[in-house]
Amino acid sequence: MDLFEYMAEKQKESDAPLASRMRPETLDDIVGQEQIIAPGTLLYRAIRADKLGSLIFYGPPGTGKTTLAQVIAHTTKADFEQVNATIAGKKDLEEVIARAKQNHGGYGRKTILFIDEIHRFNKAQQDYLLPFVEDGTVILIGATTENPYFEVNGALISRSRIFELKPLSRENIATLIDRALTDTRKGVGSFHAWIDDDAREFLADAANGDARAALNAIELAVLTTDRDPDGRIHITLDVASECIQKRAVRYDKDGDNHYDTVSAFIKSMRGSDPDAAVYYLARMLSAGEDIKFIARRIVICASEDVGNADPMAAVVATNAFLAVERVGMPESQIILAQAATYVASAPKSNACSAAIFEAMQEVQHSGNLPIPSYLQDAHYKASSKLNRGVGYKYPHDFPGNWVEQQYLPDGVKDMEFYHYPHSHRRNAELEISEKQVAEGKTRPAREALADLRAKYDV
């Protein structure tokens, strides 16, 4: 590299966005991702020892995939090559492989090839890499925002270790914001900017685990905000909300407003008002509420307030919870809206929650009452000698797969905990009785059917 190239490279570094300049250069500078990079973990030890195999980093934008690759670049003694799959083609890969072969054969040096957005390579491009990963010509490090098991060649997957990166926590983002504001070498410390606590918290929330989004907002705030009379730049909540292009709804996550909004959201779903439910959902999302927190509330409401009146509500809510964990924002707002409006529109029954609460109260009151012997386990040799399981009536041996039988202990045999009428037992009893009447059974059968219908209000 001559002087002009050196100066051009230094200028490029100084002109790079703040998020790029603030990338850590050592393992100890990395914030977050403790589950894979904390001291003592496999990846930490492998990077320290410079004994890496092929890796694939998978996770949402701004979680540190490229950062980890850059740390490896600064740590390893191997040659480090980087390509971006969005703009690179097979010719670029051929040139990298040619240099890797020369380094390996002529100088005995390994080559680490980092491919950003590796899922953008088509199958043929990924297949081209396979033999060179197989024979050790290159050590592959791929980064992808898509599930590698769907988007990356299975043969490459089998030769690589996959590490999933999670969205950074609010505390992680806040740490990076403070670091950027105080770092005079790579950050914006020389601007003497300071940020209000509520502005920092808002940016940490609004970034949704994406460090790049938060740092870009900080850089924009510092570069566009006029100085105070004392010569310092003051980043307020209003400035922060403008710079991240999200309105700062007054919503203290530890205060009354937080709990009031969540309460209104749940009560709107319980009250079968999908319009109100989606409105309060929008308020929480606009304020940067944790999407997993919202999803948990929907799952709870689906069981507590809908229950078996529409069992699909729990299925929809649970799958929404799983989906938002994998998809993230902004798409998760659609998933949450679907689940919230489904639960709000579903028929309601709290019979399940009432049943368990009543049963728990009774257990606390009466303790462990003796279980009827015919319901006890009979799957061991001496069970019959102890009268275990003797006299049990197998329901599937009877019409309608139901038979009259006492299941509760004697001390509570007449208690009812589950008060919802549309039960399996109700259906079985009605089916048997209706069949008897249809077969021309006597008047008592018709009277019994009438009694059942009155009992179950049908």
Mean pLDDT in each 10-residue stretch from start to end of the chain (458 residues)?
Answer: 49 71 85 87 88 89 86 85 89 91 83 90 90 89 88 87 89 92 90 90 84 90 89 88 67 59 91 92 83 92 91 94 86 94 91 86 85 74 59 82 83 80 53 62 59 55
Tell me if 9 is assigned to some domain.
Answer: no
Q: Which CATH number is 324's domain given?
A: 1.20.272.10
Domain boundary, last residue among 140, 164, 188 = 164
Query: Can you give the pLDDT at residue 296?
Result: 93
Domain shared by 107 and 69, yes or no:
yes
The burial class, CB within 10 Å (0-12 / 13-18 / 19+), for 294 is buried
The whole-angstrom separation of Cα 203 and Cα 214 is: 6
Structural domain contains residue 25: no
- Cβ pair 117, 144 in contact under 8 A: yes
Does residue 140 share a domain with residue 46?
yes
Please state whether the predicted TM-score (pTM) of the whole model is above 0.75.
no
H helices of 62-169, in order, are: 65-75, 90-102, 123-134, 148-151, 154-158
Q: Residue 158: name the closest of 126, 183, 185 by CA.
A: 126
153 plus 66 within the same structural domain: yes
Three-state SS at 295: helix
Residue 414 CB neighbours (<10 A): 8
pLDDT for residue 342? 95
CATH (domain of 202) = 1.10.8.60
Residue 11 backbone class (left: φ over 0; alpha: ψ -120 to 50; beta: rest): alpha
Domain-ending residue, one of 327, 345, 363: 345
Contact 81, 114 (CB under 8 A): yes
Domain residues for the domain of 134 are 33-164
The CATH number for 126's domain is 3.40.50.300
41, 151: one domain:
yes
Judge whether 180 lies within some domain.
yes
Q: Which residues, other chains included, contact 374 with Cβ-Cβ below 8 Å and sequence gap of 6+?
A: 389, 390, 391, 392
Tell me 105's DSSP state: I
C-alpha distances (whole Å) from 11 to each of 6, 15, 16, 21, 247 are 9, 6, 9, 12, 35
Q: For 257-268, how does the pLDDT look when each residue is reduced to its tens digit (9 = 90+)?
A: 667 888 899 999
The tally of domains found in the chain comes to 4
| Model confidence pLDDT, tens digit, residues 423-453 | 545 555 556 656 665 666 555 655 665 665 5
Tell me how far apart the terminal alpha carbons of the chain are, to the nearest angstrom: 88
Question: Both 398 and 321 in a single domain?
Answer: no
φ and ψ at residue 245, rounded to 5 degrees: 55, 45
